[in-house]
Amino acid sequence: MSKRWLREKKRDYYYRKAKAEEYRSRASFKLKQLNERFGLIRRGDKVLDLGAAPGGWMQVVKEIAGSSGFVLGVDLAKIRDFGLENVKSIQGDFTRKETIEKIKEILPSCDVIISDASPDISGVWDIDHFSSVELCRSALSIAEEILKPGGNFLVKIFQGEHTGEFFGEVKDRFTYAKMTKPEASRTGSAEIYVAAKGFKKRFIYA
């Protein structure tokens, strides 16, 4: 971790704002801005947060959803406990079946699924982009299992040749979908967010 990187981080407006307002991550402001624009999360909602560590998005969700809502965060890294009955976390890989089963035990259905997950960065852009798309597809697959009809979805994806293909998959499953970038995203970042509303639940008959 270079001294230059640390200096730039300390100068970052949203980093300083997160420190001042006691958010765990500058990314909290991305979710605030996206929710103000799209109204994805409402009071009383049950929300699944994928790639949630260190818990900045979970903080925002609990503020919006309130005491009548619920948020479950999932990440490979351990998320420091919030000490609240309606804010829980799982340490695990959400692309794996055993973690998905744990999610379903705690949250059999939900109103919103959000994901700010990023893959381990290899430095090879094609690989990183593809890994990001695969994480997004895993989030969408979980939505197929537990998102309520009419539910909402928000996921971060690295821009690249497969972004449009994934966006098409989301559009097929929701009544509204939009690619967007919040003001709080870093300048020059290749990330973009897919916000979708009105999940069209597919019923599978045996």
Q: Catalytic site residues?
A: 156
* β 191-199/174-180 pair status: antiparallel
By the 8 A CB rule, do 104 and 145 touch? yes
Gap between the Cα atoms of 142 and 92, Å rounded: 14
> Residue 85 is encoded by which pair of tokens?
């009955």
